Structure 1
Amino acid sequence: MAPILEVKNLFKNYGSTEVLKDINVSIDEGDFLVLVGPSGCGKSTLLNCIAGLEPITGGDLFIGGQNMTNVSPKDRDIAMVFQSYALYPTMTVAKNITFGMKVRGIDQATQDAKLNQVATQLQIEPLLHRKPGQLSGGQRQRVAMGRALVRDPKLFLFDEPLSNLDAKLRVEMRTEIKALHQRLGASMVYVTHDQIEAMTLATKIVVMKGGIIQQIGTPAEIYNRPANLFVADFMGSPAMNLIPARTRMNGKGMLVEIDRKDGDPIVLTDTRNKDLPENVILGVRPEDIADAALGRAGETQEADCVIDIVEPAGADTFAVMQLGGKHVTARLHAETSASAGQSQRLTFDLGKVSYFEPETGLRLN
Structure 2
Amino acid sequence: MAPILDIKHLYKNYGSTEILKDINVTIEKGDFLVLVGPSGCGKSTLLNCIAGLEEITSGSIEIDGRDMTHVSPKDRDIAMVFQSYALYPTMSVAKNITFGMKVRGISQEEQDRKLAAVAKQLQIEQLLKRRPGQLSGGQRQRVAMGRALVRDPALFLFDEPLSNLDAKLRVEMRSEIKKLHHRLGASMVYVTHDQIEAMTLATKIVVMKGGVIQQIGTPSEIYNHPANTFVADFMGSPPMNLIPARAHSEGNGTKLEIDREGLEPIFLDVPRKDLPGDVVVGVRPEDLAEAGYRSGDTVQRAAIRVDMVEPAGADTFVTTHMGGKMITARLHAETVAHPGEMLDLEFDLEKVTFFEPTSGQRI
Match of 2:118 in 1: 118
Per-residue CA deviation, residues 214-235 of structure 1 (Å, 9 max, x unaligned), is 0000000000000001000000
How far apart are the structure 2 equivalents of 1:17 and 1:156? 29
How far apart are the structure 1 equivalents of 2:113 and 2:253? 67
How far apart are the structure 2 equivalents of 1:316 and 1:258? 26
How far apart are the structure 2 equivalents of 1:15 and 1:202? 33
Whether the 8 Å contact between 2:252 and 2:273 is mirrored in structure 1 is no
Give, as a single letter, the amino acid of the residue that structure 1 aligns with 2:312.
Answer: A
Is the partner of 2:230 in helix, strand or coil? helix
Is the partner of 1:186 in helix, strand or coil? coil
How far apart are the structure 2 equivalents of 1:128 and 1:297? 59
Give, as a single letter, the amino acid of the residue that structure 2 aligns with 1:334.
Answer: A
How far apart are the structure 2 equivalents of 1:102 and 1:171? 33
Match of 1:259 in 2: 259
Match of 2:63 in 1: 63
Is the partner of 2:350 in helix, strand or coil? coil
Whether the 8 Å contact between 1:298 and 1:349 is mirrored in structure 2 is no
How far apart are the structure 2 equivalents of 1:82 and 1:304? 50
> What displacement does 1:41 show?
0.2
Per-residue CA deviation, residues 5-49 of structure 1 (Å, 9 max, x unaligned), is 000000000111100000000100000000000000000000000
Match of 2:107 in 1: 107
Residue 307 (structure 2) pairs with residue 308 (structure 1) = yes
Whether the 8 Å contact between 2:33 and 2:206 is mirrored in structure 1 is yes
Per-residue CA deviation, residues 76-127 of structure 1 (Å, 9 max, x unaligned), is 0000000000000000000000000000000011100000000000000000
How far apart are the structure 2 equivalents of 1:284 and 1:140? 41
> How do residues 67-82 of structure 1 correspond to structure 2 at under 5 angstroms?
67-82=67-82
Match of 1:331 in 2: 330
Unpaired stretches in structure 1, ≥5 consecutive residues: none
Give, as a single letter, the amino acid of the residue that structure 1 aligns with 2:309.
Answer: V
How far apart are the structure 1 equivalents of 2:176 and 2:298? 38
Match of 1:195 in 2: 195
Whether the 8 Å contact between 1:293 and 1:345 is mirrored in structure 2 is no
Unpaired stretches in structure 2, ≥5 consecutive residues: none
Match of 1:32 in 2: 32
Whether the 8 Å contact between 1:79 and 1:155 is mirrored in structure 2 is yes
> What displacement does 1:297 show?
5.3
Match of 1:222 in 2: 222
Match of 1:176 in 2: 176
How far apart are the structure 2 equivalents of 1:252 and 1:266? 20
> What displacement does 1:293 show?
3.5
Percent identity over the alignment is 74
Comparing 101-110 with 333-342, greater Cα deviation is found at 333-342
TM-score normalised to the size of structure 1? Answer: 0.98
> Residue 145 and residue 300 in structure 1: after superposition, are their counterparts in 2 closer, same or farther (change >3 A)?
same
Match of 1:134 in 2: 134
> How do residues 199-348 of structure 1 correspond to structure 2 at under 5 angstroms?
199-271=199-271, 273-296=272-295, 299-348=298-347
Question: What is the Cα-based RMSD across aligned positions, in Å?
Answer: 0.8
TM-score normalised to the size of structure 2? Answer: 0.99
